[in-house]
Amino acid sequence: MAARPDRATPAGDPLTPRSVRVLKRRRDGPQTVTLDLEADDATPCLPGQFNMLTAFGVGEVPISLSGDPADTNRLVHTIRAVGPVSTALARLAPGDAVGLRGPFGTGWPMAEADGHDVVLIAGGLGLAPLRPALYRLLAERQRYGNLALLYGTRSPAEILFRRELAAWQRRRDIRIDVTVDHAPSDWPGHVGVVTRRIPGLALDPANTLAFVCGPEVMMRFAIAALKEAGLGDAAIHLSLERNMQCAAGLCGHCQLGPVLVCRDGPVFRHDRLGGLLALKEL
């Protein structure tokens, strides 16, 4: 069976980590760092896919790719230190070894987006899995209609990729809208949840795809706002996060109703999920 166009499969044994080195480390927020890892093989990585990263002696976690998919010399991952494994990964320095498996999962539907308007809606760290799609959209700008990025985070201090956001805001061919939940009085931007910015886009429902990534409560509100704007379920694509352990569809830890997030996602078209995101116990 031929590989799906939104999926690249890992080379070698998908269950055995290979050791790679950290090339570069930079801080992108109070608890967030971005690591550039050496690319040890020719396996292509698609926007929206993830790798399993191992902090040796601590454990393994799934981390989305956040770099430019056209740069085959490095694998870029943006990590928030929230648990023992992610904290250990975030402390790595250039030259340190890290275990890597992948890439895994489905990517954003870049081919389907050809000729369409595209709106990307990111909440918090959800900007990281969307950044590769944005790189691709801008690199092939002539293939798409109107482009917009709505990005919301809790405070100005937690805004990711500040230099790139500033550069993108200077462009005339994409709308960049950054908002924060709360801010000091000298904050010049928008204050409020990101989903409230959706009605101001004046979307063309017949010609728009939406890519959404962030906390699930934010995605539920984004779905509601997009549907209120006229988009159908098939036009809304979501990146989900679950407790992935094998990443190869074997262990079942990431099961969400009838789907396995590692195998069938992490990017899903909303009509495939139905009402699963509304069931909080899942």
End-to-end CA gap in the chain: 31
- Which of 66, 86, 104 represents a domain boundary (last residue)? 104
Domain match, 77 and 117 both: no
Domain match, 176 and 98 both: no
pLDDT, tens digit, for every residue of 138-189?
999 999 999 999 999 999 999 999 999 999 999 999 999 999 999 998 999 9
Domain match, 38 and 139 both: no
Helix axes 127-139, 162-169, angle to 10 degrees: 40
* Size (the chain), residues: 282
Q: How many domains does the chain have?
A: 2
The Cα 101–Cα 89 span in angstroms is 15
Residue 34, domain CATH: 2.40.30.10
Instruction: Please tell me whether the overall predicted TM-score, pTM, comes out greater than 0.75 for this model.
Output: yes
Residues whose CB falls within 8 Å of the CB of residue 50, separated by 6 or more in sequence, listed in order:
62, 63, 64, 65, 102, 103, 104, 105, 129, 244, 247, 266
Domain match, 128 and 225 both: yes
The Cα 168–Cα 50 span in angstroms is 24
Domain match, 128 and 197 both: yes
Residue 186, domain CATH: 3.40.50.80
- Give the pLDDT confidence score for residue 2 in this predicted structure: 43
**Largest pairwise CA distance in the chain:** 57
CA atoms within 13 A on the CB side of 108: 31
64 strand-pairing partners: 50
Output the six-digit token pair for 280.
């909080």
Question: Does 85 map to a domain?
Answer: yes
pLDDT band at residue 280 using 50, 70 and 90 as cut-offs: low
The Cα 32–Cα 180 span in angstroms is 17
- Which of 104, 128, 143 represents a domain boundary (last residue)? 104
Domain match, 128 and 235 both: yes
pLDDT, tens digit, for every residue of 107-152?
999 999 999 999 999 999 999 999 999 999 999 999 999 999 999 9
- Classify residue 217 by its DSSP letter: H
Domain match, 23 and 62 both: yes
- Which of 104, 125, 147 represents a domain boundary (last residue)? 104
Domain match, 220 and 140 both: yes
Domain match, 43 and 155 both: no
The Cα 114–Cα 140 span in angstroms is 10
Domain match, 137 and 188 both: yes
Domain that holds residue 86: 18-104
Domain match, 169 and 216 both: yes
CA atoms within 13 A on the CB side of 53: 29
Other beta carbons within 10 Å of 272: 15
